[in-house]
Structure 1
C-alpha cells in the first residue's frame, strides 16, 4: 500500500472543506471574494428624519467684512424653507419630484437646442419652479444685507430681488435696496460683461438683464456690480449680479440664486476660482455644511487617496459640469452598458452632468432598466409597494429596523469608483415606511447625477487639473 504524506492529507482536507463550504458561502448575501455585494439601509433612522417637525432652520450669524483668498458659505437643505407651510412629507416629495421633472426637461432642451444650432447654451437658470434644493446665506452690498440664495451648478447668472419691486415673490428677508448700499455700481450697455448676457437690453444707458424659465417664471432688472460677503466675513467686490425688480415664480422662499456654472458670468468664473467644493447635508437635516472656494487647488491628480473623475467641458453647453463616468455596478455585478452611453457626442449631445439643482439621478432609459432590473434581483426578499410618481421600484418596509440592499457604485475614467451609501438611492416617500429606488429614466441621451445621490459626499471641482473629486463623510 502506498504511503500517504502528511502534506497530501492536509491538501485533501482543505479541498473537502472548500467543496462543502462553497454552497454556504455563496448563499450568504454579504459575502464576496471581491468586496461587499450589499449594504445596509437604516430604515428607522430614515423615517425618524422625515417625521413632522423634525427639522427647523438654524440660526445664522451676522456678517462682518474681511478679506481672504479663500471663501466659505454655509449650506442649508431646502426643507426648513417649507416647514411652516406643509407637514405632509409625501406632499413635499411629490411637489419636489414634479419640479424636478420640469428642471430636467429644461436642461435637456437647453443642451439639445445648443447642439442643434451649434450655439453656446443660454445664460438661463436651470432652476424651474423652485426645484433648486439647497440654499446658502450671503450678504449683498455694503453694509451687507443677508439673504438666502439657491445654489445652482446648472446656472451662471446670480441675482437677487431688488427694490423698487414692481413684482416680487415672498422671501423671508427684507428685499435688497440698492440705494442703501455704498458698493452698488451700474453696468453700461457697451460693457463686456453686459454683452456676455444671452438676453439683455439697454435702458437709459444701463444694462438690463432678462431671465425666463421653462414654466413661465422669470426675473428682470438691472445688471449691476455689488459686493458679496461670505460666511466668516470674507468679501468679494464688483461681482456682476442681477438686481431683479420684476420677478415671479416658485423659488421656495429664497431671495434669488447663486450661479456656480462654468460660464463666464458664474461666480467661480468671476472670482477666477481655482477650485470650489460643496457637501450637501441630508435633505431632511436641520444641520448645515459648507460651500468653499479656492481650498483644494493644490491637490494633485495623482493623489491615490482621492476618488476622482475627469472634469469634461462641452463647448456647446459651457454652463454644465460633465464628468467621465464609464460604468455602474449593482450588487457587485458590473452592468453591461453600451460603451457610448456616457460619451459626449460631436454635436454636443449625450454625456453625464453633475447638478445640485436636480434631485434624482436620471439615466438614459436602457441604462436605467439595466440598473433597475439588477437591483430588483437583489431585493427579491423585500415586500414590494406600488409605484410613486417617477419611481417604479418601491418597497413596503414598515416595521423594519434595517434591511440589506444591493450596493451601487459609479465607475469613473481613470479607474476610481464611488460606492454610494444606501440612503442615497433608497429613500422614504412617506412616513409610513414606503421606500423607493431613487433613480429615474430619461429619453434624452444626456444623464444627470442629482443631489440625492450626492448627499454626505464633499464634491470638489478642481479647475486647475480638470478633476471632480469625491470625499465621502467630509461634510
Structure 2
C-alpha cells in the first residue's frame, strides 16, 4: 500500500521542554486528502524562541564550519512503498531499525518491546532492558506524563487516522560505518501503540528531520556535533536507493538555491514563483504558491499537491503537449488519476515524449523537472504513466513530496536559511557524487551480527559462451546462483522480496526475475535466479544485458542485511538459439504450400467458408462474461 506521509503540523499544544525536547504534538498525514494545517501555533512565543535558538546555532556554526557529518544510505523505491528508509542503530549493543526519513516530523520513534498495539515490521522491536545505556526521560512539569507519572510521553496523529504514541527516552544512536560520527546520545520515542498505516507499514518507524528540538538534526547541532544543515538524495523511477548526509557539505558550483523562511512556519518552505511547461509560463498569479504555508518540501510525502488553479493549469499544459498519447483510466478506480498510454517502458526515453517542467524561484533561478519528477508508472498498463501531481483540495498550500526531487541532491542549509537543488544520479551517489569537500568512502557494511558480503570475483566465475562478443549476441536468459546464509533458523529469507530487490538492483522489471531452483541445508539456502526478456521481447536488449553482466561481474549487489548474507557462486548467460534455415523459413514455406493448395481446389466454396470464419471471429463474445478494457489488463 502506498504510504503518503505528510509533514508534521504543530497544532494544538507545543510544549517546549527546558531539557531540549518537545513532549507532545499533533501530526497529520496525506492519503490524497486536502491539506489540514492549523491556522496558527498555539504557543505565542514560539517565533521568538525559534529566532533566539537559530541565532545561537548560527553563531556557533560560524566558528565550527569543519565539523564532521553522518553519511547514510537510503533504501527502497518511492512508489513501491511511498517512502525512503535509512538504517539507524539505537542502544548498547546497537539494535538496528529501518526508519522513514521525514522532514515533516520531529520525533524519531521505534516500536518498544512493551508495545501491545504495534504491527509486524521489518526488524525486532527495541528492547530497553537489553541496552546498558538506555535512560527514560523522567516526568516533570514541562511534559505530558504516563499514567504512573514516571516518564514523559509523546503522541503523533495523522489525517488518515493513523497514530503513534509512547514514552520519551534517551540512548546512544549510531549511524553505521559509512558515517564519520561516533555514536551519540539522543532523545527518541519508544512506541507503546500505533494505528492505521503506521501499524501496517513495513518500516519500523520514523526518523524526524523537521524543525524542532526533538529532531535528530537539532539535537546533534545543539551538542555542536554537526553543522546546521543536512542533505537528501532520492533515486530515480524504478531504481530506488540514494543517500543522506547529516551535517554540512560543500555545494556544487551549479547548485540552484531558494530562500527558506524559518519563521513563517515549522516546515521547510521555498519561494516558488512560476511554473513553466515546455518553455511556456503558466498564466498564474505568483501569489498562488504563497498561500497559507506557502510551498513546502516534505520528504515523507510521496506525491506533490498544488492549489486548484495551479493544478488545472499544469494538467492542461501537459495534456496539450502530449495530445498524441491515449488518455486512460488510472490503476486504482478509487482515484481519478490522469494517465496516458503509448509512451513505452524505457524511462530514459520519456523526456523525448513528455515536456520539461521548470520551477522558477523568487531569485529567478530555475529547477528543471524531468518526466520522472512528475510522473509515476502505471501498475496495470505497460508503457503507461500517470501524473504524480494532484489537486490539493481547497487548501492553498503547495506541498512537494519526494517525487519532485528524484535524482536531485537537496541540501537543507538551515544556517543560511536556504535550500539547494542539484540534479544528479542519486542511486549512484556513493560512487559518483563529486562534491568538493565531501569525500565519498567505499561502501562499508553497518555494524551488525548479520553482515552481508559478496565472494571475491575468483570464487564467483562466469560461464560465457565461447563465441561471446558484447553487443553482438542476442541473450535469451542470464542465470546466477546465490548462496544465502542466515544466523537463525526462523529467519528464512522471503524470496519474493529478494526477487524484488534483485529486480531493482539490476534495473529490470519484477516480472523478468524468476527463481529457477531452490535447495536448503540448515541455515543456508542455495537459489538459482534467472533474468528473462521483458514482456513481448524475444531476448534481453544489449544495453540491459551489459548492465546486468557488469553488476554481477563487479559484485555491485548491496544485499540488505535483513535478508542475511550472500555469496555469488556463479553466473552465466544463455544466448538465443540460432535457428536452422528450415526453422526460419517454415511459415513462409507453409503459406506457399497452402496457397497452391487453395488454387488447385474448387476455390469459391473454400473462400466463402474462410470469409465467414473471419466475420464470426471478429464479433464473438463469451456468453455471460464482460470483456475488460485493454488498459485495465494486468501486465
Question: Shift of residue 472 of structure 1?
Answer: 0.6
**1:280 is matched with which residue?**
234
**2:270 is matched with which residue?**
323
The answer to whether the 8 Å contact 2:34/2:395 transfers is no
| Aligned equivalents of 2:106, 2:176: Cα separation in 1 | 21
Query: What are the equivalent positions in structure 2 for 1:168-207 lying under 5 Å apart?
Result: 168-190=118-140, 195=143, 201=146, 203-207=148-152
**1:374 is matched with which residue?**
317
| Aligned equivalents of 1:229, 1:178: Cα separation in 2 | 16
**2:361 is matched with which residue?**
412
The answer to whether the 8 Å contact 2:407/2:425 transfers is yes
| Aligned equivalents of 1:283, 1:141: Cα separation in 2 | 35
Correspondence for 2:262 among 298, 313, 321: 313
| Aligned equivalents of 2:364, 2:6: Cα separation in 1 | 35
Secondary structure (helix, strand or coil) at the match of 2:120 reads: coil
Larger radius of gyration: 2
| Aligned equivalents of 1:407, 1:176: Cα separation in 2 | 46
| Aligned equivalents of 1:107, 1:394: Cα separation in 2 | 21
The answer to whether the 8 Å contact 1:276/1:460 transfers is yes
| Aligned equivalents of 1:304, 1:353: Cα separation in 2 | 25
**2:212 is matched with which residue?**
263
Correspondence for 1:108 among 27, 35, 51: 35
Secondary structure (helix, strand or coil) at the match of 1:309 reads: strand
Q: Deviations for 1:23-79, whole angstroms, at most 9, x for unmatched residues?
A: xxxxxxxxxxxxxxxxxxxxxxxxxxxxxxxxxxxxxxxxxxxxxxxxxxxxxxxxx
Change (3 A) 1:258 1:313: same
**1:445 is matched with which residue?**
396
Q: Deviations for 1:441-474, whole angstroms, at most 9, x for unmatched residues?
A: 1121100111111111111101111111111115
The answer to whether the 8 Å contact 2:29/2:158 transfers is no
Which runs of no fewer than 5 residues in structure 1 stay unpaired?
1-91, 122-129
Determine which structure has greater relative contact order: mean sequence separation of CA pairs < 8 Å that are 6+ residues apart, divided by chain length: 1
| Aligned equivalents of 2:32, 2:383: Cα separation in 1 | 30
Query: What are the equivalent positions in structure 2 for 1:216-235 lying under 5 Å apart?
Result: 216-232=161-177, 234-235=181-182
The answer to whether the 8 Å contact 1:211/1:220 transfers is yes
- Report whether the alignment pairs 1:161 with 2:87: no
The answer to whether the 8 Å contact 2:117/2:193 transfers is yes
- Report whether the alignment pairs 1:352 with 2:286: no
Query: What are the equivalent positions in structure 2 for 1:126-145 lying under 5 Å apart?
Result: 133-145=83-95
Change (3 A) 1:452 1:304: same
Correspondence for 1:427 among 376, 383, 386: 376
The answer to whether the 8 Å contact 2:29/2:160 transfers is yes
| Aligned equivalents of 1:268, 1:356: Cα separation in 2 | 15
Question: Shift of residue 358 of structure 1?
Answer: 1.3
Secondary structure (helix, strand or coil) at the match of 1:114 reads: coil
Number of aligned residues: 357
Change (3 A) 1:398 1:413: closer
The answer to whether the 8 Å contact 1:220/1:246 transfers is yes
| Aligned equivalents of 1:341, 1:137: Cα separation in 2 | 38
Query: What are the equivalent positions in structure 2 for 1:49-64 lying under 5 Å apart?
Result: none
**1:362 is matched with which residue?**
305
Secondary structure (helix, strand or coil) at the match of 1:423 reads: helix
**1:11 is matched with which residue?**
none
**2:329 is matched with which residue?**
386
| Aligned equivalents of 1:276, 1:104: Cα separation in 2 | 27
Which runs of no fewer than 5 residues in structure 2 stay unpaired?
8-27, 48-79, 222-226, 427-635
Change (3 A) 1:182 1:136: same
Secondary structure (helix, strand or coil) at the match of 2:288 reads: coil
**1:246 is matched with which residue?**
193
The answer to whether the 8 Å contact 2:6/2:300 transfers is no
Secondary structure (helix, strand or coil) at the match of 1:328 reads: strand
Question: Shift of residue 97 of structure 1?
Answer: 6.5
Q: Deviations for 1:387-438, whole angstroms, at most 9, x for unmatched residues?
A: 5554543211165764522110111111110111222223211242321122
Question: Shift of residue 295 of structure 1?
Answer: 2.8
The answer to whether the 8 Å contact 1:114/1:120 transfers is no
Q: What TM-score, normalized by structure 2, do the two folds share?
A: 0.52
The answer to whether the 8 Å contact 1:132/1:152 transfers is no
